[in-house]
Amino acid sequence: MVTLDDLQVSSLGPCTVDSPLALYVGGRTTNEYYVGEHDRILYDDTLALIESRGVGLENLPTFESGGPRDKIFFDPATTKVGVVTCGGLCPGLNDVIRAIVLELHTHYGVRNVVGLQHGYAGFVPELGHDIVPLTPESVARINERGGTVLGTSRGAQDPAVIVHRLVEEGINVLMVIGGDGSMRGAHNIVVEIERRGLKIGVVGVPKTIDNDIPHIGQSFGFSTAFAKAAESIKAARVEVEAAVGGIGIVKVMGRHAGFIACYAALANHDADFVLIPEVDFSLDGDNGLLALLERRVAERGSAVIVLAEGAGQHLIPASDRMDPSGNTVLGDIARYLREQITKHFANADQPLTMRYFNPGYAIRSVPADASDSVYCARLAQTAVHAAMAGRTDLVVGRRRHRFVNVPIPFVTQGSHNVSPEGDLWLSVLESTAQPFSIA
């Protein structure tokens, strides 16, 4: 069970420096639209959940509020900040980099900001990646393109080497933009920093196109990603409706979480079946996917399947290969489904026109849409506020419209998934009219 202690954020020390943003926040108190710096944000959001804990108000699990403080830990005149992007691409990476640089420069007066290239590999001198200066001029237009101007890579590096490079370069604050693996790496860096007794802060802006990091609300880039995926679903619907016995399969990202599949399907109600890792399904039997597909095509003339890449892995042989991030390489469920559907319709002597769409890399490499751009800017600003206040070993997020600071160990101990008992999956079932159970 989550406790108040689980949500306590680490600090490098007391804040004694007057903040340049004190005029912005001086005298502000908590209201419907703002949370004061000494207030905290409830973890639970219903009376039943709060009452079930059986503890007093002062012991309820709560998050530290994100935002600027009256006093800060680091003196902006002597502070150097490093920024690194790790893991796979995601819409909004450049927006976050840009907003970090602009917030540091414009509002805190931090003039020394640098970028480490190609993820944690950028800290390893032998790999030959330069450290590049980041200025308002150099980041001015980067938000208009996808990807990351700093480059990225997967895989861990030795925390001792990373901390040595931080000291060598005189970096006081490291801003890490990455997924759960990158945040585990960030925590390991903090452990090494603490072992050496150093005052270097590490703050994360969590990034995952799958939206599977818990406790932070929605991940940046997710909105853009499912909107692009929805375009492929719409295209699939057009294709199959024009064909005889048309079946379209749209494969989207989602190793362990089906959020992209669910939201993309809900965006335009063009999907007949949504298959996600959290909900097993069978192919055979009267209520199996193949029989349901045959009936749907007979009734409506066509069908569209939205398939998360991690769905149906129980139907195919397990892989023993690992990717550079340490994840098991998934089996090709899309190819297996196409083969089984083709065989089933041939045996049933039914016409079939198969269309397959895989927008995976396209949806993660595009620039952020306007909604995500706003979110990226606000997350980046919240991260800078935390960093300048001497907070460390944390990520920033937005829980129910409130920005919060969340300890990295708390974020990385679990995952965020679509609940088969939740209202999102219920909405998907309502939208597609697929059975509650495909078995």
Residue 182 counted as an annotated binding residue? yes
> Looking at residue 323, what is its pLDDT?
64
What domains, with CATH codes, occur in the chain? 5-220+368-399 (3.40.50.450), 224-363+420-432 (3.40.50.460)
Res. 54 pLDDT band, cuts 50 70 90: very high
Residue 193 counted as an annotated binding residue? no
Residues 36, 374: Cα–Cα separation, whole Å: 22
Residues 153, 133: Cα–Cα separation, whole Å: 19
Residue 362 counted as an annotated binding residue? yes
Residue 180 counted as an annotated binding residue? yes
> Looking at residue 362, what is its pLDDT?
86
Task: Note the pLDDT tens digit of each residue in 343-387.
Answer: 999 999 999 999 999 998 888 999 999 999 999 999 999 999 999
Task: Note the pLDDT tens digit of each residue in 413-425.
Answer: 988 999 999 999 9
Residues of the chain above pLDDT 70, percent: 98
> Looking at residue 325, what is its pLDDT?
59
Residues 154, 167: Cα–Cα separation, whole Å: 23
Residues of the chain above pLDDT 90, percent: 87
Residue 335's CB is within 10 A of a number of other CB atoms, namely 13
> Looking at residue 322, what is its pLDDT?
64
> Looking at residue 110, what is its pLDDT?
97
Question: Cβ distance 162 to 192 under 8 Å?
Answer: yes
Residue 295 counted as an annotated binding residue? no
Q: Coil, strand, or helix at residue 342? A: helix
Token pair for 154:
């997967």
Q: Coil, strand, or helix at residue 165? A: helix
Res. 326 pLDDT band, cuts 50 70 90: low
Residue 179 counted as an annotated binding residue? yes
Mean pLDDT score, 22-36:
88
> Looking at residue 26, what is its pLDDT?
80
Catalytic residue among 39, 44, 130, 210: 210
> Looking at residue 331, what is its pLDDT?
85
List the end-to-end C-alpha distance of the chain, in Å, as a whole number: 33
- Rounded to 10 degrees, the C-alpha dihedral 90/419/425/50 comes to -110
Residue 204 counted as an annotated binding residue? no
In terms of Cβ atoms closer than 10 Å to its own Cβ (0-12, 13-18, 19+), residue 180 is: buried
Got the DSSP string for 349-383?
T---EEEEE--HHHHHHSPP-HHHHHHHHHHHHHH
Task: Note the pLDDT tens digit of each residue in 196-231.
Answer: 999 999 999 999 998 989 999 899 999 999 999 999
Got the DSSP string for 288-317?
SHHHHHHHHHHHHSEEEEEEETTTTGGGSP
Token pair for 394:
């944390």
pTM summary value = 0.93
Binning the chain into helix, strand and coil, the percentages to the nearest 5 are 40, 20, 45
Residues 164, 62: Cα–Cα separation, whole Å: 35
> Looking at residue 329, what is its pLDDT?
73
Neighbour-count burial for 120-150, b at 16+ CB within 10 Å, e otherwise: bbbbbeeeebeebebeeebbeebbeebbbbb
Residues 86, 79: Cα–Cα separation, whole Å: 23
> Looking at residue 324, what is its pLDDT?
62
Residue 23's CB is within 10 A of a number of other CB atoms, namely 9
Task: Note the pLDDT tens digit of each residue in 264-317.
Answer: 999 999 999 999 999 999 999 999 999 999 999 999 999 999 999 999 999 988
- Has 18 been annotated as catalytic? no
